[in-house]
Chains A and B, each alone.
Chain A
């Protein structure tokens, strides 16, 4: 039994960060224009020293096309993987995940409603408000969906929510909201149907605007605050009454966790669309390697989610090159079999 300590968490996270750097280098080099990793590294070193402009074509591909996408995939993956680990702990169910629970789909509905309202009302949301409005709408969609899922699942049982019922309610809610999303999108005139279709599966290929800075800030703050609640969530995952007797202010912690997990999920989904199963796959693999203590799981799964999604997105944009798949196709291809495996093993127990 290894004791958990700050040193152990830092060393695990350092190894994961190194792995992320390697994955990023790999992703920089792969694409319809293959650039050898040595060459990419060389150009990155030149970018850092400010010595640019010698190979403008390659530099454009690396730093204007691939690097932003790498950072976006990492941010989205980190956020969704963390949200998955949080929901699993909160609901005491390893099958919980922002996608399965309908939270991601709810966030995408929030985004769509915002875009349609802004367009149809002819409101020109300008300036700094525009940067916040879309992620805020996605957050609202996510939070409302969580509330609706809880309402549908009904009363708590003695040791807290019946998590199987919650999962079912989430799955039903996700398919319901998906239909609403398709209805909303097809009933309003939209030129870019293929882009929207991709986005609904989860796609990282669309250009990002300055709202990415706001979203990064939201994810960072959300992740830090969730980390502060990691030990309380350890106890809640044992049982809500146990957590109360062990000193956790359970109702208050639960409310905060819902809001923060919705914030983290909603803000990235407003860019990427609802990418499936990242929040299922990454926490599961991290838990197998590191055990179930959230104090080490949360930071590790945050970085691991970035690595996984970055690699999945690299596959998505290279496997049928020069065409691209939405990243959600790759994650669903990995995630659905894992979901079935977890469900069959001990009926979805830990």
Chain B
């Protein structure tokens, strides 16, 4: 599928080293209205890549470019300018419990406020809309400590949407959730990506969910891209064996996403 949209975010030959090389020669183009999934074993540098794409880490060489009326290097933008365009949903850490759900989501308006500014009725409307999209409107006045793990993940997504970004980066955001919640959350992300024409990058261990929902899959190994392409091009038995070091069976249905099963032999 060739998209004619301009590239929203691009990594060009990015290297990153911290006590040894972590990421080498990483290149990626993210376009609006596109969901890209990243798959790879633990420690292959997925989270590091997300931080490089969000400008939290700076490449040792290469550059990350963002489209804001033309291409600009992230290195030249302030955190606030970046936060108006890129939203990151972090791995579920301990969210502080003392805030209400509404106020937590309202934080996403912060990059749009002036130095001595306060959130306006407009900002609150944007926040309520994000809570509605993530089915949290009934919890607006609840404390963050009172909601469940799945609701917390949706709240992190709601806060990211409140930022009104052009680019959405999601880091293992379905971890520790039951499979029904994972499917619900990822299909929600895809729907929002289409509605708002976002460029979305999803890191996850759930190969089948990514295969079902993503336009493009990137396989990462040892800080570099092993393969990238459509799910059916990339998710092959050979590639997966190379990536994880164990055998997989891959079933291709007609015009359907490939289904992947690891071959697990007990003793």
Contact = CB atoms under 8 A, between A and B. Distances in A.
Is B truly associated with A? Answer: yes
Contacts of B54: 245
Nearest to B112: A247
Contacts of A250: 79
A239 B107 contact: no
A241 B95 CA distance: 11
B107 A235 contact: yes
A248 B83 CA distance: 9
Interface stretch (B31-39, B85-93, B186-194): B85-93
A62 to B, nearest CB: 39
Contacts, number: 77
Which residue among B110, B124, B141 has the maximum number of chain A CB atoms within 10 Å of its CB? Answer: B110
Contacts of B103: 1
Contact of B119 (A3, A237, A245, A249): A3
Contacts of B116: 228
A350 B110 contact: no
Q: Which of A5, A231, A246, A349 has the most CB of B within 10 A?
A: A246
Interface in A188-246: 228, 231, 234-235, 237-239, 241-242, 244-246
Contacts of A234: 107, 110
B100 A245 contact: no
Contacts of B140: 1
A292 interface: yes
A245 B88 CA distance: 6
A228 B115 contact: yes
B110 A292 contact: no
Q: Which of A5, A159, A247, A250 has the most CB of B within 10 A?
A: A247
Given A1-B102, A4-B118, A295-B118, A246 B96 contact: no
Given A1-B100, A247-B80, A158 B111 contact: no
A6 B90 contact: no
A317 interface: no
A244 to B, nearest CB: 5
A349 B94 CA distance: 12
B40 interface: no
Question: Which of B79, B94, B99 is packed against the most chain A CB atoms within 10 Å?
Answer: B79
A350 B96 contact: yes
Given A3-B124, A246-B111, A246-B163, A238 B96 contact: yes
B79 to A, nearest CB: 5
B82 A247 contact: yes
A239 B118 contact: no
Contacts of A248: 79-80, 110
B67 to A, nearest CB: 18
A246 B108 contact: yes
Interface string A170-186: 00000000000000000
Interface of A: 1, 3-6, 92, 158-159, 228, 231, 234-235, 237-239, 241-242, 244-250, 292, 295, 349-350
9 contacts: A1-B100, A4-B118, A159-B94, A238-B99, A241-B56, A245-B56, A245-B86, A245-B88, A247-B80
Given A231-B110, A237-B96, A247-B83, 10 more contacts: A1-B141, A3-B124, A234-B110, A235-B107, A238-B104, A239-B93, A239-B95, A246-B110, A247-B79, A349-B98
